[in-house]
Amino acid sequence: MSKMPESTASEKLVIGNWKMHGSLRSNEVLLRALANGMKAVPPRLKIGVCVPFPYLAQAQALLAGSAIEWGVQDLSSHDEGAYTGEVSAAMVADFGARYAIVGHSERREYHREGAILVAEKAERALEAGLTPIVCVGETAEEREFAFTERVLAAQLSAVLDRLSIEQAASVVLAYEPVWAIGSGSSASVEDVRHVHAFLRGQLLAKGAAVGRIPVLYGGSVKPDNAAALFAVPNVDGGLIGGASLAADQFLPICEACTETPV
Ligand code: PGA
């Protein structure tokens, strides 16, 4: 077997993806518990929560000055103008947000977002000073037909080809196998090892700076499997859905990431 590329990531991240969950009341409890439970984050580890748009101001109010950053789960591919219902990257940045998830499989599937649109959103995020968390992942069917690498390469290159090297070096990538999301069981350590090595190779092909961007794993990360997943070479943290909605699950996952060196 050829030697697999090893992680040289510049930082690690644990990011919560709340999806369409929450209320002013329940968020307040959760955000306070997170801010209190995570007093300090080691250098080169970032913790963040990506909340629904209406709760951005609340996240800013309750997390400003804490060790936890905040962001959103999508944004418009347009700058500004007559785009009813859209939210621009600049608006998001106005609320002190740091992250914008783009290309999540639920957006690709339920909103028919294609590779080019995802790339445009990543570009808008970067222009506004946000860090795009670009999600890639194969469906169960694509996996069954051994198309995983082909699908991931296409999703990734659509984004990288649109960005300058400097922009691409500021992206965070998240591998989220669609079949593992919300399923209760993550991809196996072996699968994750293989796919992340493949993704690292694709990134390194764009040069050393792009080769160093963090690559997160997402899909049923829980407190009891986080340490094993974060210890896999080329895994630089996680994108956490269901388990980010409860402080007693999200905080141990963050802890697990502090224990694996960058
Ligand atoms: P999950 O979701 O942790 O609930 O599987 C992850 C995601 O969709 O980002």
pLDDT in 10s for each residue of the chain, 262 residues: 456 666 578 899 999 999 999 999 999 999 999 999 998 888 889 999 999 999 999 999 999 999 999 999 999 999 999 999 999 999 999 999 999 999 999 999 999 999 999 999 999 999 999 999 999 999 999 999 999 999 999 999 999 999 999 999 999 999 999 999 999 999 999 999 999 999 999 999 999 999 999 999 999 999 999 999 999 999 999 999 999 999 999 999 999 998 876 6
Residue 258 inside a domain? The answer is no
**Ligand 1 midpoint to CA 3 (Å):** 30
Each residue of 165-201: pLDDT tens digit? 999 999 999 999 999 999 999 999 999 999 999 999 9
H/E element, 134: strand 131-136
Residue 89 inside a domain? The answer is yes
Ligand 1 atom closest to Cα of residue 181: 5
Residue 204 inside a domain? The answer is yes
Cα separation, 238 vs 226, in Å, equals: 8
Nearest alpha carbon, ligand 1 atom 7: 241
pLDDT of residue 122: 98
For residue 152, report the phi and psi dihedrals to the nearest 5 degrees: -65, -40
Q: Model-level pTM?
A: 0.96
Residue 68 inside a domain? The answer is yes
Task: Provide the domain count of the chain.
Answer: 1
| Owning domain of residue 41 | 12-97+112-244
Cα separation, 134 vs 167, in Å, equals: 13
Helix (H, G, I), strand (E, B) or coil at 197: helix
CB-ligand 1 contact for 242 (6 Å cutoff): yes
Residue 254 inside a domain? The answer is no
Catalytic residue status for 120: no
DSSP string for 81-129 = SS-TT---HHHHHHTT--EEEES-HHHHHHS---HHHHHHHHHHHHHTT
CATH number of the CATH domain containing 76: 3.20.20.70
Catalytic residue status for 106: no
**Ligand 1 midpoint to CA 81 (Å):** 32
Q: Which DSSP letter does residue 48 get?
A: E
For residue 221, report the phi and psi dihedrals to the nearest 5 degrees: -75, 130
Are the C-beta atoms of residues 45 and 13 closer than 8 Å to each other? yes
- Select which of 104, 113, 120, 123 is catalytic: 104
